[in-house]
Amino acid sequence: MQGLKHPPSKRVMVTRGAGFLGSHLCDRLVGDGHEVLCIDKLFAGAKRNIAHLRDAPSFEFLSHDRLDEDLIGLAPL
């Protein structure tokens, strides 16, 4: 039953990750032990929304347009 309490961590890409909803999603995923690649072009959100995650080893921020085709190459496998 221990496996159910601690499912394996995943690598997750969160687009719009510095916005209101995305930053809370990043919080939750990092808190649950997952690796998070946060993508945001900062059109509307703010880095301060994710500033507290900056030093987390499992969190990475990338300023990038989520609609760019080359983003596919950055997607965690």
Ligand X SMILES: NC(=O)c1ccc[n+]([C@@H]2O[C@H](COP(=O)([O-])OP(=O)(O)OC[C@H]3O[C@@H](n4cnc5c(N)ncnc54)[C@H](O)[C@@H]3O)[C@@H](O)[C@H]2O)c1
Binding region for ligand X (CB under 6 A): 16, 18-22, 39-45, 65-67
Please report, for residues 1, 7, 8, the alpha-carbon distance to residue 4 in angstroms, rounded to integers and kept in the order given.
6, 6, 9
Comparing CB distances to ligand X, the nearer of 34 and 50 is 50
Residues 6+ apart with CB under 8 A from 62: 37, 38, 39, 40, 74
Comparing CB distances to ligand X, the nearer of 11 and 64 is 64
Closest approach of ligand X to the CB of residue 23, in Å: 8
Q: Which residue has the tokens 């190459």?
A: 73
Comparing CB distances to ligand X, the nearer of 7 and 54 is 54
